[in-house]
Amino acid sequence: MRFVLRLLSPVLGLLVAAVGLITTIEVVTAWVAPASSPLVVPWPTWQAALLSSTWSSPVVRGVAIGVGVVGLLVLLVALVARRHDVRLTDPVPEVTVTTSPRSLARAVGHEVRSHADVVSASVVASSKKVVIKAGTLDAPDDVRAGVRERVDELLSRLPLARRPRVSVSVAATKGVK
């Protein structure tokens, strides 16, 4: 979502800049040559149409609803795109300590890959959940228990403010032992 927000911000900025530039051109044109027709925007016909509209017109209500929906969508994208840091226990009340989900996944992945029976591992972490997918040449059930113990031990050593749920799946891979 942060990617969408990074694309949406410059587009909206350019749109506002274009509207400002067109408005400036129209105002300067109206000051310099008031009798001439508008250059870009047919604002006299828009003005006449708006003078005949009231707040209870279906067009005005439709535009208001549309602007409100677009505003809520932009707000939703901005809220979803925030950083999802993993909180750690604060050493003192004045200090807030966080780490990234990538760093937590890297620490858990290093611990999982150090297990002798694991040949490959993939870890995805967030503040709520850690998902581990490992590959082994041995019996998956035996390795799963060992990996689970190592991850639980690691998470107990880390100063996490809230312990995430752990999901471990181990699959047997093909290979020569």
pLDDT band at 1 (very low <50, low <70, confident <90, very high): low
Question: What DSSP state is assigned to residue 128?
Answer: S
Contacts made by residues 174-177, CB under 8 angstroms, sequence distance 24+? 175/119, 175/137, 177/137
pLDDT of residue 92: 87
Residue 117 is encoded by which pair of tokens?
Answer: 């029976």
Is 3.30.70.1350 the CATH classification of the domain at 97-172?
yes
Question: What DSSP state is assigned to residue 160?
Answer: B
Among 34-38, 109-113, 138-142, 145-149, the least confident range? 34-38
pLDDT of residue 40: 84
Phi-psi region for residue 122, left (φ > 0), alpha (ψ -120 to 50) or beta? Answer: beta
Q: How many CB atoms lie within 10 A of CB 137?
A: 15
The structural domains of the chain, with segments of one domain joined by +, span 2-80, 97-172
Is pLDDT at 176 greater than 60 in this prediction? no
* Segment 91-131, tens digit of pLDDT: 888 888 889 999 999 999 999 999 888 999 999 999 899 99
pLDDT of residue 3: 78
Strands 97-99 and 118-125: unpaired
The SS3 call for residue 41 is coil
Q: What is the pLDDT averaged over residues 6-17? A: 89
Residue 130 is encoded by which pair of tokens?
Answer: 């850690």
Contact predicate 137/117, CB 8 Å: yes
pLDDT of residue 78: 81
Q: What pTM did the predictor assign?
A: 0.59
Number of H helices, E strands in the chain: 5, 5
Query: Which comes out higher in pLDDT, residue 84 or 168?
Result: 168
How far apart, in whole angstroms, are the C-alpha atoms of residue 147 and residue 132? 9
* Segment 16-68, tens digit of pLDDT: 999 999 999 888 888 888 887 788 888 888 888 888 888 898 989 999 999 99
- Residue 97: strand pairing partners: 88
Query: Which comes out higher in pLDDT, residue 63 or 83?
Result: 63
pLDDT of residue 105: 95
How far apart, in whole angstroms, are the C-alpha atoms of residue 60 and residue 23? 22
pLDDT of residue 50: 85
How far apart, in whole angstroms, are the C-alpha atoms of residue 117 and residue 139? 9
Contact predicate 172/144, CB 8 Å: no
pLDDT of residue 58: 92
Sheet strands (E) in the chain: 86-88, 97-99, 118-125, 129-136, 165-172
